[in-house]
Amino acid sequence: MKSLAQDIEGFSKGHLRKQSTRVTTVTGRKLIETRSGENFQIADDTEQGGDEACGFVQDLSLDLQVGTIRPFLLLSSQDAAHDIDTLKKCKVTHMLNVAYGVENAFPELFTYKTVTMLDLPETDIISYFPQCFEFINQASHQGGVVLVHCNAGVSRSASVVIGFLIYQEKMSFEEAFRAVKSARPHIQPNPGFMNQLKNYQP
């Protein structure tokens, strides 16, 4: 099992493609999320200043769409996780943050669990499932509503929720994927996560 430190150490900014989204967290850290076809990568750009880089498109639009997977289980991007009106409207009580470099915005208002992982095909996402699923089930048993989010709400958090349906409801990968995609249509786990989910047998 790879540790997060090994994942970070093995990640090179030289692998970045030009079509990227620069994300600024609530603490001012700048992250570059790069998608090229099915490949998805992330790098910390805080030290770079960002202005010299050519070809980057800054995404200023907020993604406040929240997918309802189950009455107690929601899926979104960091934007929704940082929007108090959206959280109140969805009756969120717990948040599972599986992003890299995204702070928990309202620690005094919600019960948080942070499980930091990188959106890289080689990340062993299955190894993170037990602690994620335990948190989701605890919240459910308490009558709570859990919002699972990463940076974009596309790969990491979607993979955790797909894995949860496979684990908890004994769904096939195809059933779980369809259920999550129906709730949040633009999910797209990276190829490594897709392969791990297809072979996941809890």
- Active site residue ranges: 150
CA distance 66 to 7: 29
DSSP one-letter code for 17: -
Q: Determine the Cα–Cα distance for residues 148 and 99; give it in Å rounded to an integer.
A: 10
Q: How far is CA 118 from CA 16, 142, 175, 184, 202, in A?
A: 14, 29, 25, 21, 22
Strand partners, 96: 113, 148
Query: Is the dihedral angle over the CA atoms 107, 27, 135, 79 positive or is it negative?
Result: positive
How far from 140 is each of 49, 113, 179, CA to CA, in Å?
42, 14, 19
Position 21: which residue type? T
